[in-house]
């Protein structure tokens, strides 16, 4: 149990230090929990969906669910401490040096380079999650693809709120997949 907790702490410290929050954490969380055998890709897809629906930061919610899955309540606490530790550390350092970095041209250049990396990571997540969400029993699921297309249109064309789209998708999932 202690080794699992240490692994959870270290994994989520790495995630916290190497990601930039939000959706960019998903590929790192997925890789860590799958490589340690704490969850499979389908379960990771489920925790990301649940973490998106629940209040709070995505990384913290995923750490909670992954920690509980791996080692119960102690695992959730450990994973949360791990994912928060880098944030606290970097925030304290940034507060100390804020005036110096505020007008730095170099910092702007660094952030310009980081953005495409985050987009690439998100595209990788979309590709890997598409395999678990749109392929069921080794066959492409047309109802799942239809739900995805409807969601896309609702979100980007008609600007329907995310909670409404999630509820509608859940209803469609119950209808199509029981």
Query: pLDDT tens digits for 103-123?
Result: 788 877 887 888 899 899 999
CA–CA distance, 163 with 54 (Å, rounded to integer): 10
Query: pTM for this one?
Result: 0.64
CA dist 38 and 98 (Å) reads 38
Q: Which two tokens stand for residue 170?
A: 């859940």
- Residues 175 and 168 sit within 8 Å (Cβ to Cβ): no
Span 74-85, mean pLDDT? Answer: 95
Residue 141 Cα distances to 42, 128, 144, 177, angstroms: 15, 15, 5, 10
């Amino acid at each position: 149990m202690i080794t699992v907790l240490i692994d959870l702490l270290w994994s989520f410290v790495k995630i916290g230090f190497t990601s930039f929050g939000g959706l960019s954490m998903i590929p790192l969380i997925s890789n860590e929990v799958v490589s340690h055998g704490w969850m499979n890709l389908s379960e990771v897809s489920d925790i990301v969906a649940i973490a998106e629906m629940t209040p709070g930061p995505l990384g913290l919610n995923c750490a909670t669910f992954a920690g509980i899955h791996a080692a119960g309540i102690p695992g959730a606490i450990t994973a949360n401490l791990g994912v928060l530790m880098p944030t606290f550390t970097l925030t304290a350092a940034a507060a100390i040096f804020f005036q110096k970095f505020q007008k730095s041209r170099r910092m702007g250049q660094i952030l310009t380079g980081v953005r495409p990396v985050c987009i690439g990571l998100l595209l990788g997540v979309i590709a890997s999650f598409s395999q678990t969400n749109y392929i069921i029993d080794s066959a492409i699921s047309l109802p799942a693809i239809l739900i995805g297309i409807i969601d896309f249109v609702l979100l980007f064309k008609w600007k329907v709120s995310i909670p409404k789209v999630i509820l509608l998708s859940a209803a469609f999932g119950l209808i199509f997949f029981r």
